[in-house]
Amino acid sequence: MSDNLTGYGIVVAVDGSPESDAATRWAALEAVLHHVPITLVHVIAPVVVSWPVAYLQGSYSAWQEDNAQNVLRQSQELVSKSVGKADVAQVRTEVRHGNDIAELTDVSRNALMVVVGTRGMGAIGRVMLGSVSSGLVHHAHCPVAVIHATGSQTLDSNAPVLVGIDGSPASEAATAMAFDEASRRGVGLVAVHALSDVGVLTDLKTDWREYENQGHEVLAERLAGWCERYPDVEVRRRVVGEHPARWLIEESQRAQLAVVGSHGRGGFAGMLLGSVSSALTQQAQNPVLVVRTS
């Protein structure tokens, strides 16, 4: 993946919130694993005011600029603390002005990955309810990692990487990235395949063995080439009946990273985000990486 090094490397959206700090710590270690730069990006939202408070605009804008520099400085220090003696290719900072989602989406065109917290803080301390992270997983031009402040603090470095496989192009891209991530971490991979996205397999109890065999055949076909390419990655296969989101959320509790495609076999060309990836980013406590296909 480092062969595809792009201008920004790994981008982190920083705003000084606990979620932002968690994203920064995770991204710093990811940059070390991939031997790429890390770029800390802070977006300043435009000030829209009118009389009688328009006279405050100048001082407020100046405060925004000062706050941006403080956030970036603290984030740089956090990167240094997170990597310890490990080398980061380069730490860059950038201040942008405009809409958070639009600016970060633009940055994603030249990034290897964008990392965001599940939710952040607005300039006056208002919780944004995950609007930025949700917007990016819908619109970014590169993979997006969503980091929870709580789960990221207790990650087991020996835990496996998890990937959801359904045979779609987005799933294939996710599988490629999951193998790469597992190999770089020196851990195993758990591959989960659900026979159905919804509860339509009414005869699972009587024909489960047949369905399970079909599922393992799908996994064997989809994993064969990647297992040859990454012989160092031990793979555990799991076939489930229905509702892949539920099983992936459960399995993610025992994984250090879950990787999914942006939309699966039920999606269509141009679809923004599938139900499985959406549920996983919203409910999983450990890091989730959503991989989009061009």
The CATH code that applies to domain 2-149 is 3.40.50.12370
How is residue 238 written in tokens? Answer: 């799991």
Mean pLDDT per 10-residue run, the chain (294 residues)?
Answer: 64 94 96 96 80 62 91 96 86 94 94 88 42 85 91 81 86 94 98 71 62 83 94 94 84 95 52 65 92 73
Please give the pLDDT value at position 194.
83
The architecture that CATH gives domain 155-291 is: 3-Layer(aba) Sandwich (3.40)
Burial of 266 per CB tally in 10 Å (0-12, 13-18, 19+) = middle
Please give the pLDDT value at position 126.
38
What are the φ/ψ torsions at residue 147 (nearest 5 degrees)? -115, 130
Same fold, 2-149 and 155-291: yes
Please give the pLDDT value at position 50.
57
Please give the pLDDT value at position 133.
84
Please give the pLDDT value at position 53.
55
Please give the pLDDT value at position 54.
54
Cα-based distances in Å from 27 to 93, 147, 170, 235? 14, 9, 23, 25
Please give the pLDDT value at position 294.
57
Nearest residue to 163 via CA among 148, 182, 183, 149: 182
Cα-based distances in Å from 52 to 49, 68, 117, 124, 150? 9, 26, 36, 20, 42
Tens digits of per-residue pLDDT, 95-120?
A: 999 999 999 999 999 999 999 998 75
pTM to 2 decimals?
Answer: 0.85
Please give the pLDDT value at position 62.
86
Please give the pLDDT value at position 270.
35
How is residue 14 written in tokens? Answer: 């920083």
Where along the chain do its domains lie? 2-149, 155-291
Tens digits of per-residue pLDDT, 24-47?
A: 999 999 999 999 999 999 999 887
